[in-house]
Amino acid sequence: MKSNQNVSTEKIYLWNLIGNLAFSGSSVLFTLIVTRLTSPIEADSFSLAYGIAAILVVVGMFQVRSYQATDVSFRHSFTSYFLARCISLTLMVLVFFPYLSISKIDLNEREKVAIIALYVLFRMCEAISDLFQGLFQQHERLDIAGKSMTIRYTFSTIFLFILLYTTKSLVSSLTLLVVLNFLFVMGYDFVKARSFERIDFSSIEFKSLLVDACSILKNCIPLFISGFLLAYIFNEPRIAIDMEIRLGHLIEGTQRDYNILFMPVFFMSLFILILRPLTTQLAIFWKDKEYKRFDGIIVKLLVIILGLGFVLTLVAYFIGTPILSVVFGLDLNRYKETLAILVFSGILYSIGIVFGDVMTVLRRQSYLLPVYLLMFVASKLTNLQFVQRSGLFGASLSFLLVMVVYFIGSIVSYWIARRLERKDYVL
């Protein structure tokens, strides 16, 4: 079992930063490539696939990553985590068509369904890789995970461009991309993981391992429900927009435009991914009862998010849409207010994510369930109605309202948890 004794903290942070930049950048570049090289209809289908895959990958990961990364006492074996991931990935496949039916996706539109299915498989490769990255993080070696992400997402972007440019077929390009990603995960992540721990069914009865795997999933149910509801809320505008396009109330390309405008929100969450090594450090501080250092990290996170978020909101309002218009070759200037609202909402979302990770460290993740349920209700009450009335501007207002609920609810939940854990804590 290797440790991080020969790897500097700076190197770990650097590779984690580069890896997450590659991850986030690939999402933007995928959208850019598809927008430039395909028709508005295909771009709309890809944007819809992007949102649906984001929901189903939550099922595949079952939000075990945060739990695994903060399991600094190694309560569960890696084999148990592997079995838990096999179960959740099977569930991810089984719910695919039922979810499409519930979302009222027309299954007769075969090309659209194929694009969605292939992008879901692409994200499934990510869910497999995430299992090994959780192991690396347990051993404080996120630099390995960062290298994996850098290589995989960089080459995925390059390959998508080359494949789409040469084949002129989004379906064929995504098919080859899925195969290449799966081969990389098996050839890199799996091999690297063997240096730390191996999947071993010989030492313990399979039944005992299965029970332990189910125990992991059971402990992560609150995280899963929260993550699934959050992903569902993020995708709700896309479903409403798709419905309005099919009814002829919105023009083709609107789904594509929304996906482009939503990209900065995704980048706001990048702040949290970059600082992900701190979650393991938080778990160690909490375990060792170093509460002042624990609180210091949280304050540092909030200052960074609020500072950068404020700057990004101003940039988005004044020059955001002109820049996006040039990059994507579209006229997006009419969405100036929509973009600013979405970016500001991203600040609230990022702060909520911080408190969500902290609640996982405290093992009080179930406290957030009422918050996510309130968000779900707020989204259901406002989203379709707002989109029907005001199009993408309405979608942004609905999202802002939901993120306000998330922001306030997360802070209140954290305050309650800390009061119960340490009655002498002063917020």
pLDDT tens digit sequence for 205-249: 788 899 999 999 999 998 898 889 888 998 899 999 999 998 899
Q: What percent of the chain has pLDDT over 90?
A: 59
* 423 pLDDT above the threshold of 80: no
Above 70 in pLDDT, residue 2? no
Question: pTM to 2 decimals?
Answer: 0.81
Question: How much is the average pLDDT of 269-298?
Answer: 74
> What's the confidence (pLDDT) of residue 1?
44
For 145-188, the pLDDT digits (tens) are: 999 999 999 999 999 999 999 999 999 999 999 999 999 999 99
Q: What is the pLDDT of residue 215?
A: 95
Residue 89 has a pLDDT of 98
Do 167 and 173 contact (CB within 8 A), yes or no?
A: yes
Q: What is the mean pLDDT of residues 341-370?
A: 84
> Which three-class secondary structure state does DSSP give residue 73?
coil
Q: Is the pLDDT of residue 426 over 50?
A: no
Task: State how far the alpha carbon of 166 is from the alpha carbons of 161, 173, 229, 247, in Å.
Answer: 8, 9, 39, 34
Query: According to the model, what pLDDT value does residue 205 have?
Result: 79
Q: Is pLDDT of 265 > 90?
A: no
Nearest to residue 408, comparing CAs of 375, 381, 382, 383? 375
Q: 332 in helix, strand or coil?
A: coil
Nearest alpha-carbon partner for 382 in 363, 403, 367, 362: 403
Take residue 110 and report the two structure tokens written for it. Answer: 């075969």
**The token pair that represents 225 in the structure block:** 């429900």
- List, as one string, the DSSP characters of 91-120: HHHHTHHHHHHHTT--TT-HHHHHHHHHHH
Is the pLDDT at 391 greater than 90? The verdict is yes
pLDDT in tens, 84-117: 999 999 999 999 999 999 988 989 999 999 999 9
- CA-CA distances (angstroms) from residue 213 to 79, 81, 220, 262? 8, 6, 11, 36
pLDDT higher than 90, residue 269? no
- Check pLDDT > 60 for residue 376: yes
96 or 413: which carries more pLDDT confidence? 96
Quote the percentage of the chain above a pLDDT of 70.
93
Kind and range of the H or E run holding 377: helix 369-421
- Single out the residue of 51, 24, 28, 31 nearest to residue 232, CA to CA: 51
- Pick the closest to residue 273 from 83, 50, 25 (CA basis): 25
